Structure 1
Amino acid sequence: MVGKSESDGEKPLDLFLKIGLDERTANNTVANNKVTANLTAVIHEELTSSEKTQHMLYGLARGLMGSVDFWAAVTDGCDRTVGNLLYSVATKFPTNALVHRPTLLKYIVSSKIKTPAQLEAAFSFLSATASDDLKIDDFEAACGVGVEVSLEDIERAVDEIFEKTKLLLWSSVGELFGYVRKKQPWADPKIVKQIIDTKLYALLGERTAADNEKPVKKKKEKPAKAEVIVEETAPAKLSEEEINPFSIFPSPEQNFKVHTEIYFSDRPVLRACNSKEILDKHLKVTGGKVFTRFHLNPMGYVCGLWSSKRERWMLLPELGKIKSYPCLLNLVVIYRYDDTNQKLKRRNTLITLKKLLVGWGGNPLSDYFQELYELAVELIRRGHAYVDHQVDTDEKEYREKKMNSPWRDRPIEESLKLFDDMKNGLIEEGKATLRMKQDMQSDNFNMYDLIAYRIKFTPHPHAGDKWCIYPSYDYAHCIVDSLENVTHSLCTLEFETRRASYYWLLDALGLYQPYVWEYSRLNVTNTVMSKRKLNRLVTEKWVNGWDDPSLAGLRRRGVTATSINAFVRGIGITRSDSSMIRLDRLEYHIREELNKTAPRTMVVLNPLKVVITNMDSSVMDLDAKKWPEAPADDASSFYKGVLHWVAEASPGVNPLKVEVRLFDKLFLSENPAELDDWLGDLNPNSKVVITDAYAVPSLKNAAVGDKFQFERLGYFAVDKDSLPGKLVFNRTVTLRDSYSKGGK
């Protein structure tokens, strides 16, 4: 379909009036962008070539070739009856059957479907058919196509009903009408009403005012008040979304609906969806389980507090262990890191990522290089890709002017030969690319013949020197989603415009299509999310490295997966990209978790030596709680005071000396990304190092990662920088939110 709009010379309001809509309905429609787009598309819709072939074969089989007309839109207007039916199609058509909408419109415009009852029957039939092949005979039978109801047929039906219901009065006209409709479903409702009124007049005479009076309803007496028994309020039940976060999505078995409509400048609209055969094959592999994936790009691996692609779904496997989330026991999360970018020079970043994800069963995208190459060859064979020789300057000009590449229409065999030369290293870097043949005149710039493969004579960190051509993100990630049988592909909102290219490619290759859903980033206050800004923080040494302001950094500081999960569950899921989550909400969940798990101990940050000279030489044993909410056998004879102290291990021997790092918020402003001088907003006290703190002797055996509550100071974890005899502790979080109070 060729998309139409105001730019095509006709305003939507004029178009809607031409098809017979009354002025009020037309104006209300124009005020609704979604309905306007749908109705405009309906008015301009044409049959695809495959649909034309189907109708031609159907006509030949019936000997009706002369009556098979290839309806070509109603842009010149139509009568009001047809227009009202078209409006119903625009507002009520089942979304899972959009592939069959042109066929239904053909029946409407050719007056083979001409009543609302027939249209509703068509909606029901098509909804059940979904994207499967349409059985024309069954469709026509279900919709009453070709059924002619004469005046005599209607009269006969009315007479039969009257004979059975002579005692019905005027108040039961609706029931009479319903009985007749059941007997003659395709009869014109206006004619049915006229005949019923005539028969009623003949039977009962003129309708009087008394006939129009409504029966007086007697008020029911209120029952006596029962004795009120106060019961304990039951705990609030979890919502369906809390019990099953995937309840807002279609189940894997329902993934047959149209995912998106892709409009082209030179061909019919593409309604991307899975065929029954493809979906059945997918379900046989997955067993109907939910498969999702955590896709991490090394360039965005650091982000303020955690990864910039740190999706709220990242820790779902942990949720599966929680009794309140039994549905997630049937969830499979695939951890994948994108290592296709050969511009990435920080090999250590990939190594860190690999360590982070391999422990969770993660795999690099480069494991699919062979399959991706073979599918690229198939894409060329199908006429959907070509080898291009535009340099950057040419490419920019052609994109700005929406012009096709001079090499776009080269023969398929020529592109196959050149792509093979690219693979074998026979073409210089930058002299050729493989492009997908999409639509350079599209309104969506993500359909501008995107690059599928580039030449890069750079050894790969994982695959070695086997390849000198590398797939692009736009080409690789949707194919790998399909190869891994992902049911729900979840990504952030900036990828919403990429839906068209995502589904176009999978449709072009005949591959399974996952359900794609975009959501907002997890924006937390007092940090930045931009990869460019994060790169500056690290390269200009404002932070200590890539494991400082990242997910690994949170773990290094002692934050547990359980507390992050609780934080994420408390936030919920949203598509609003403007919300900022306060940092203290995360800290609350961290405290809640560590309060239950971190043993208490004593550390003095700024020690002041106190010598008691007049104390008796006797020894007094004191017991203090090591754990919160300790049982009776852990009862304390140590009462809480206003000072805390650490004693010498023995006379003249200093307590255990440790280093303590006090971490605070990184930026002073809640949203530093909005500031021009965002680096000037860095908190000068975001990290304070105390090198000569004193701790109780029992801490000398603490290991890296161990977590403690330092009495009256906060929660701390042993850092990896610790050495024998020199422990280093990182502050995880204070005992309470002290930001607003300026505390440490």
Structure 2
Amino acid sequence: MTDVEALSVKLEHLGFAEPKIKEVLKNKKVAAAFNDILNVVSVGKDEKRAALLHNLASSSKDAKDESVLKKRNEVAAAIADSRIKTNVQLDAAWKWAQDLHSGESLDQAAGVGIEVTRDDVEREIAAYIAANKAQLEEERYKALPGVMVAAKKIDALKWANPADFKPVIDEQLKALLGPKDERDLVKKKAPKAKPAAKDAKKDEPEKVSATAMFTSGFLGNLHKTGENPQANMERMAEHLKATKGQVFTRFPPEPNGYLHIGHSKAITVNFGYAQFNKGKCYLRFDDTNPEAEEERFFTSIRETIEWLGFEPYKVTYSSDYFQELYDLAEKLIECGGAFVCHQTAEEMKASRGVTDGARGGERVPSPWRNRTVEENLTEFRKMRDGHYKPGEAVLRMKQDLNNPNPQMWDLVAYRVLNAPHHRTADKWKIYPTYDFTHCLVDSLENISHSLCTTEFYLSRESYEWLCDAVDVYRPAQREYGRLNITGTVLSKRKIAKLVSEGHVRGWDDPRLFTLVAIRRRGIPPGAILNFVSTLGVTTAESNIQHSRFENNVRKYLEDTTPRLMMVLDPVKVTIENLPEDHFEEFDMPFGKNDERSRKVPFTRELYIDRSDFEESAGKEFFRLTASQPVGLLKVPHNISLKEVKKDAAGNITELVCHLDNDIPFKKPKTYIQWVPECAAKKSPVKIAETRVFKQLFKSENPQGNPDGYLADLAEESEVVHKHALVEPGFYDVKENSPWVTGEHTGKEKKGSPESVRFQALRVGYFCMDKDSTEDAIVLNQIVSLKEDNQKK
């Protein structure tokens, strides 16, 4: 076994997934350091300690001094026995290891045994803020970086979790200073303008053709139909006769969970490639595990594909082919390619050289590998007829245990399951595995391009082996890089825990990246298709930042969403110099390039957002103050403040203003949105709940948190506003949604709440939530207007 293979085995034993192992092995210095560390410590599967050991290997990759390396081993041992639990401790421990003159012990240097709680952090930060109150009130939020630095220097917080600092400081500064406003904006110096070229056009985001992904890169270089190799060319002739040379693809989800953002790429690749080449794509449910399948998953998957705008050529099920698969299993036995095995799952792993989850040991054939064909047929039929209980017998493929590819180590083809199937009821007592089913059903459906993600690369060899062994047409499996989004989790197991523990509303919570959640959040299917197209398709994984995804959605919405006026936190405005029955209407377009428009009533009473008024404010506050008028969007005159009314608690309840229609017009510093009070026009539209979302996790890699991904959950990832108001144009938008239809926009159902979306001017993009009723409208924020939005 090579050093690389040995390290791979160790990392697998530590709990690293294959992509993480590849990442470690890419950096030879880190890999060498990690190997040395794992030669002196032994740690079982432990995500937290594995991450710390990886960080130690990265930090020490250039260390050569024997004394430093000896101390590094002490640090590794402290991680292994859980004395060192955090990256803060690890940083201090590595500094100790490099200081050959330190008189401290490792435990002293790394704060072993010292626990600093969130309450401790809150108490110490509060004391610092109280001691520096005057300075903070003067500098306001510009002081935030300094407070962060100072907090980290507080002795009592030396061993605190750094992730606790910012949320605590943000919370306490907000309590002291109130929300951010124009005083907290940092002015940027405008760069000197360069002379414009004569025919220069305004910078625009690069537009990518919706079909470009099919003409270049991975998909553009795929084989033509009929070019995929065959062991028996007669099978190719049969295939071409059946397909008439058309492209045939398939999307084969397992109906045991909800699809996520990564599946949107697989759907677009498979359905889109067939569509582009005037071929056909199957939706095939891989329903070979009746214990995990539920009707809600079948329904959700079909609805999601339709929502994205694709129509399957046929909807099929692996179970449609159970009899054909059984017949092929007997054929495989008859040609000496399969045997019935009675090893337990653990014995099977051990015979493949797998110990404690790690590969690398000696591979030993099953004692039942050399049964006769007749004996195997008899035993297999006994499996079929219910003579064996689950785990007592399996049918295994007779492949090549000496092959370095683990997908050739006598994979299981059939197992006994005493579970009723949703389509075949209790007809079958045995069910084929994915490894047996996938390639053969591809063959039976005459798939020309079996497109899947790169984690199935090793499976290609067993895929082709099985097709050739039973002498059927061999489809061509080809692998592309999967799509991942950072800053979230996509694992079914992890999402299930978020749901069961009440951290989110359900599998369709808009903060998640399941496709049902993305749909509920109001992201249009066209935005998903556009996003996948801009990424293109290669063999490399696409690890896309959460913010990049949102920015792509934002650009799509900018061109496809009607604009309305909305106030999240309304305060009433009465215009004193207008009569009580004053009524006029202003024609307002729904968008810059939208020919459609609506009429908005203008009356004596209206509402503005509370944040758009300050009784006294600095010169950088552009909105309404006691001495500064403000413009109302589309209204030809400004308004000026005359009186502020408050309740007994000092809260502003009403602003009495003057419409400046009796003085020469002067352009205001800015215009603000407003919502009229007009019962005749059903205005304002009252919103029961407006849910504003932020990223569910604090970091880009929640799984990397030493305390687990749940410890990385962000506070206030959902903020609910209870009193928002929207102008009556909302009813026009609701009646005419989905607002944009056509090619590459998906297929949204008229009347579906998530299709009712709009841009709330100066606020963000919103859609209706499924919790809405006739009497209570609930809105979800899709994305903010800008990545870092600040009003002026």
Q: Secondary structure at the match of 2:249?
A: strand
Matched, 1:535 2:535: no
Cα deviation, residue 592, structure 1: 3.1
Q: Which residue of 2 aligns with 1:628?
A: 592
Q: 2:289 aligns with which of 330, 338, 341?
A: 341
The whole-number CA distance in structure 2 between the counterparts of 1:528 and 1:708 is: 28
Could you list the runs of 5+ residues in structure 2 that have no partner in the other structure? 4-197, 354-361, 600-632, 637-667, 735-750
Residues 360/720 of structure 1: CA separation in 2 closer, same or farther (3 Å cut): farther
Matched, 1:397 2:344: no
The whole-number CA distance in structure 1 between the counterparts of 2:372 and 2:550 is: 61
Q: Which residue of 2 aligns with 1:655?
A: 684
Q: Which residue of 2 aligns with 1:571?
A: 535
The whole-number CA distance in structure 2 between the counterparts of 1:298 and 1:253 is: 31
Q: Which residue of 2 aligns with 1:580?
A: 543
Q: 1:282 aligns with which of 230, 239, 253?
A: 239
Q: Which residue of 2 aligns with 1:248?
A: 221
Question: Residue type matched to 2:437 in 1?
Answer: A
Q: Equivalent residues in 2 for 1:598-609 (5 A)?
A: 598-609=561-572
Q: Equivalent residues in 2 for 1:698-713 (5 A)?
A: 698-699=729-730, 702=734, 703=751, 704=753, 705-713=755-763
The whole-number CA distance in structure 2 between the counterparts of 1:250 and 1:689 is: 52
Question: Is the contact between residue 249 and residue 271 of structure 2 (CA under 8 Å) also seen in structure 1?
Answer: no
Question: Is the contact between residue 268 and residue 532 of structure 2 (CA under 8 Å) also seen in structure 1?
Answer: no
The whole-number CA distance in structure 1 between the counterparts of 2:502 and 2:269 is: 30
Cα deviation, residue 437, structure 1: 0.9
Cα deviation, residue 483, structure 1: 1.3
Q: Which residue of 1 aligns with 2:317?
A: 364
The whole-number CA distance in structure 2 between the counterparts of 1:474 and 1:374 is: 16
Cα deviation, residue 242, structure 1: 5.7
Question: Residue type matched to 1:533 in 2?
Answer: K
Question: Is the contact between residue 253 and residue 283 of structure 1 (CA under 8 Å) also seen in structure 2?
Answer: yes
Cα deviation, residue 612, structure 1: 2.9
- Identity, % of aligned pairs? 38
Residues 355/460 of structure 1: CA separation in 2 closer, same or farther (3 Å cut): farther
Q: 2:391 aligns with which of 418, 430, 436?
A: 430
Cα deviation, residue 435, structure 1: 0.9
Cα deviation, residue 706, structure 1: 1.6
Instruction: Give the TM-score normalised by the residue count of structure 2.
Output: 0.56
The whole-number CA distance in structure 1 between the counterparts of 2:325 and 2:528 is: 36
Question: Residue type matched to 1:285 in 2?
Answer: A
Higher relative contact order (CA 8 A, sep 6+): 2
Give the length in aligned residue pairs. 488
Residues 354/634 of structure 1: CA separation in 2 closer, same or farther (3 Å cut): closer
Cα deviation, residue 252, structure 1: 1.2
Cα deviation, residue 347, structure 1: 5.2
Q: Which residue of 2 aligns with 1:61?
A: none
Could you list the runs of 5+ residues in structure 1 that have no partner in the other structure? 7-229, 257-272, 321-326
Residues 725/700 of structure 1: CA separation in 2 closer, same or farther (3 Å cut): farther
The whole-number CA distance in structure 2 between the counterparts of 1:470 and 1:357 is: 27
The whole-number CA distance in structure 2 between the counterparts of 1:315 and 1:242 is: 8
Q: Which residue of 1 aligns with 2:331?
A: 378
The whole-number CA distance in structure 1 between the counterparts of 2:672 and 2:200 is: 43
The whole-number CA distance in structure 2 between the counterparts of 1:731 and 1:560 is: 13
Residues 732/231 of structure 1: CA separation in 2 closer, same or farther (3 Å cut): closer
Q: Which residue of 1 aligns with 2:121?
A: none
Instruction: Give the TM-score normalised by the residue count of structure 1.
Output: 0.60
Matched, 1:510 2:482: no
The structure that has the greater radius of gyration is 1
Question: Is the contact between residue 690 and residue 779 of structure 2 (CA under 8 Å) also seen in structure 1?
Answer: yes
Residues 571/328 of structure 1: CA separation in 2 closer, same or farther (3 Å cut): same
Q: Secondary structure at the match of 2:496?
A: helix
Farther-moved stretch of structure 1 (517-526 vs 587-596): 587-596
Cα deviation, residue 547, structure 1: 2.5
Q: Equivalent residues in 2 for 1:162-561 (5 A)?
A: 243=215, 246-256=219-229, 273-299=230-256, 301-303=258-260, 306=261, 308-314=262-268, 317=271, 328-344=276-292, 348-357=296-305, 360-361=311-312, 362-400=315-353, 401-548=362-509, 549=512, 550-561=514-525
Q: Which residue of 2 aligns with 1:674?
A: 704
Q: Secondary structure at the match of 1:620?
A: strand
Q: Secondary structure at the match of 1:591?
A: helix
The whole-number CA distance in structure 2 between the counterparts of 1:355 and 1:377 is: 37
Question: Residue type matched to 2:701 in 1?
Answer: N
Cα deviation, residue 541, structure 1: 3.0
Q: Equivalent residues in 2 for 1:118-129 (5 A)?
A: none
Cα distance per residue 1:295-324 (max 9 Å; x no partner): 222446344xx2x4443452664688xxxx
Cα distance per residue 1:118-154 (max 9 Å; x no partner): xxxxxxxxxxxxxxxxxxxxxxxxxxxxxxxxxxxxx
Cα deviation, residue 522, structure 1: 0.8
The whole-number CA distance in structure 2 between the counterparts of 1:254 and 1:387 is: 36
Question: Residue type matched to 1:371 in 2?
Answer: E
Question: Residue type matched to 1:378 in 2?
Answer: K
Q: Which residue of 1 aligns with 2:769?
A: 719
The whole-number CA distance in structure 1 between the counterparts of 2:226 and 2:683 is: 68
Question: Is the contact between residue 435 and residue 452 of structure 1 (CA under 8 Å) also seen in structure 2?
Answer: yes
Instruction: Please identify which structure carries the higher strand content.
Output: 2
Question: Residue type matched to 1:494 in 2?
Answer: E
The whole-number CA distance in structure 1 between the counterparts of 2:481 and 2:319 is: 28
Cα deviation, residue 397, structure 1: 2.3
Q: Secondary structure at the match of 1:622?
A: strand
Question: Residue type matched to 1:311 in 2?
Answer: K
The whole-number CA distance in structure 1 between the counterparts of 2:433 and 2:777 is: 46
The whole-number CA distance in structure 1 between the counterparts of 2:449 and 2:592 is: 42
Q: Secondary structure at the match of 1:333?
A: strand
Question: Residue type matched to 2:718 in 1?
Answer: K
The whole-number CA distance in structure 1 between the counterparts of 2:474 and 2:556 is: 40
Q: Secondary structure at the match of 1:566?
A: helix
Question: Residue type matched to 2:278 in 1?
Answer: N
Residues 634/247 of structure 1: CA separation in 2 closer, same or farther (3 Å cut): same
Q: Secondary structure at the match of 2:241?
A: helix
Farther-moved stretch of structure 1 (478-487 vs 334-343): 334-343
Question: Is the contact between residue 265 and residue 532 of structure 2 (CA under 8 Å) also seen in structure 1?
Answer: no
Q: Which residue of 2 aligns with 1:197?
A: none
Cα distance per residue 1:562-596 (max 9 Å; x no partner): 2222211211122223x522233333332333233
Cα distance per residue 1:534-571 (max 9 Å; x no partner): 33223333222223331122122222222222211211
Q: Which residue of 1 aligns with 2:721?
A: 690
Cα deviation, residue 727, structure 1: 1.5
Cα deviation, residue 457, structure 1: 0.9
Residues 667/650 of structure 1: CA separation in 2 closer, same or farther (3 Å cut): same
Matched, 1:728 2:778: yes
Residues 472/297 of structure 1: CA separation in 2 closer, same or farther (3 Å cut): same
